[in-house]
Amino acid sequence: MKKILVYLVVFALISTFAVGCSSGGGGGAEKESKPEVVKIGVLFPFSGSMAALGEENFRGAEIARLVRNKQGGLWGKQIEFVKADAPDATAAVAEADRLINKEGMKVIIGSYSSSLSYAASEVAERNGVIYWEVGGISDPITSRGYKYLFRTVPTGSSFGIQAVKFAKAIAPDIGVKPEEMKIAIVHEDSMYGTTVGENAKAEAERQGLDLVEMVAYSAKTNDLSSVILKLKAANPDVLIATSYITDTILFWRQARELNFYVKAAIGTGAGYAMRDFAEAVGDDVNRIFNVDFPQLDTNPEFAKGIDEFKKLYEETFGEPPKSGHSLVAYAGALILWDVMEKAGSMDPEAIRKAALEVDIPDGETAVGFGCKFAGPDAENAGQNIKAYPLVAQWKNQKLVTVWPEEAAAGEIELPMKPWE
């Protein structure tokens, strides 16, 4: 007994000191000391409640790394990732600190969750390190006038706005006049859901649509029957919904149980994009829309290289991609490699300059939309102003991009089928 105590305390003490000596991050695959590597920090939630999509987001960047390394890497050197796990905002700050000040990272790719991105990018900015956001969508991330922060993905507000625009566009398909169409908005109440929901509301008001109900709830809940009964009483034609995966599944199962029917349901990302959703509710998923990052079934004419990505993903991870989160991270990281190649060094100043010069037209990337970053003086400094979300629809339990037309890989099917 005493012995165990001694071991325990010794272990605890050793680990305390080991923080100092540990090389950190079990990360990057190859660790043999090849002299010439380019090290880049990656910061995602690998544990905790956001781990599932965090991992998916990261996988895109990982594939981009492998692709680039096969092509000869950066400046002839192989790229290596130093991984950091940030389950919450406090850890994000600590890990960003570790990556920058202990591992000496000059570039960090992150972070799927908006809260983590918020907190970690602040550390990067203070240290003059590039923060390359390939997943978090909340608007305020790029509203702080940061110089070293770049985001390749569209903003949360554009998700909400796009959803309303799309709702208006499909009014004829469900047989109502746009001005008579009744819209309900439901969203989970964290930063992500609220940003999307509030913007959808504002856009609906701008467009003069009839907003009959707006409900917010905590994604941690274990029952949504009350939300659904509320919506059912409002009886909307179109539902715009924002939720994470658990509550998406719960919502649609309970919607069926309680016989809640809408003519068109428009999800906005996260849960609505995930294969798990389709697996959980089966054919009930069909005809639900998803306003989101470009999905895996986007027209390859529009999203160049998307098929190659899917193939690589399957080869690397032994399963098909779970959602577009990997795809956007893949495309985002590829842009970063080009920027760094052009900058010619790890110097953040040079990378920043090169990034600001980027101007990729639409249809040239694996996500379809092009890339141009807003300058440091802009309201949305560092935001890719060419990024916008697409609308996909679940067909035979697969997401197929249906809107806008140039990206479409399939036809819009409406209205929703009533529950049997």
Partner 1 sequence: MKTETNKETLISPQLYVPVLFFVLLFLIPLVIKNPFYIHNMILIFFYAALSSAWNIIGGFAGQISLGHAAFFGIGAYTSAILYVDFGISPWIGMLAGGVLAMLVAAGISYPCFKLRGPFFTLSTIAFGEVVRLLVSYFRDITRGAVGLLVPFKPGIGNLMFRGKIPYYYFALILMILVVVVSKKISVSRMGFYLTSLREDEEGAQAIGINTSLYKLWAVMISAFFAGIAGVFYAQYILFIEPESVFSSAMSTQFALMSIIGGMGTVAGPVVGSFILTPLSEFLRSTLGGSFQGLHFAIYGVLLIIVVILMPQGIVVWFKDKYEALLERLPNEKRREVKS
Partner 2 sequence: MIEFFQVLVSGIMLGGIYSLISIGLTLIFGIMRILNFAHGEYLMIAMYLSFWLFKLLNIDPYVSIIIVVPALFLLGIISQKLVIKPIINAPPTMQIFATVGLSLVFQNLALFLWKADYRTVKTSYQTATIHLGPMLVSFPRMVAFLIAIIVSLGFFYFLKNTYTGKALRSIAQNREAAMLMGIDVSKMYMIAFALGTACVGVAGALLMPVYYVFPTVGTYFGVTAFVVVVLGGMGNMTGAFLGGLLIGVIESISGVYIDPSLKEAVYFIIFILVLLFKPSGLFGLRGAEEVGLK
Q: Is 83 in the site for partner 1 (CB under 8 A)?
A: yes
**Residue 240 backbone phi and psi in degrees, to 5:** -110, 120
Give the residue, chosen from 282, 377, 396, 418, that forms a contact with partner 2 under the rule CB under 8 A.
282
Taking the least distance from each CB to partner 1, the nearer of 9 and 229 is: 9
DSSP codes of every residue in 130-171: EEEESS---GGGGSS--SSEEE-SPPHHHHHHHHHHHHHHTG
Give the residue, chosen from 165, 189, 261, 363, that forms a contact with partner 1 under the rule CB under 8 A.
189
Q: Is 218 in the site for partner 2 (CB under 8 A)?
A: yes
Q: Is 243 in the site for partner 2 (CB under 8 A)?
A: no
Alpha carbon of residue 265 to chain centroid: 21
Count of positions (residues) in the chain: 420
Residue written as tokens 């939720």?
A: 243
**Residue 265 backbone phi and psi in degrees, to 5:** -120, 125
* Smallest gap from residue 62 Cβ to partner 1 (A): 12
Q: Is 404 in the site for partner 1 (CB under 8 A)?
A: no
Q: Residues 6 or more apart from 203 whose CB is under 8 A from it?
A: 160, 161, 163, 164, 165
**Residue whose C-alpha is closest to residue 99's, from 89, 109, 90:** 109
Residues 90-129 that bind partner 1 (CB under 8 A): 90-91, 93-95, 97-98, 100-102, 115, 118-119, 122, 125-127
Q: What string marks each residue from 14 to 53 as x (binds partner 2 by CB under 8 A) or -? A: ---------------------------------xxxxxx-
Q: Which stretch binds partner 2 (CB under 8 A): 92-100, 217-225, 365-373, 379-387?
A: 217-225
Q: Is 276 in the site for partner 2 (CB under 8 A)?
A: yes
Report whether 387 contacts 396 (CB < 8 A): no
Give dist(CA 42, CA 198) in Å, integer. Answer: 31
- DSSP character for 68? H
Give the residue, chosen from 86, 116, 161, 250, that forms a contact with partner 2 under the rule CB under 8 A.
250
Residues in touch with partner 1 (CB under 8 A): 1, 4-5, 8-9, 12-13, 15-16, 18-20, 22, 24-27, 46-47, 51, 55, 83-85, 88-91, 93-95, 97-98, 100-102, 115, 118-119, 122, 125-127, 140, 144, 189-191, 193-195, 218
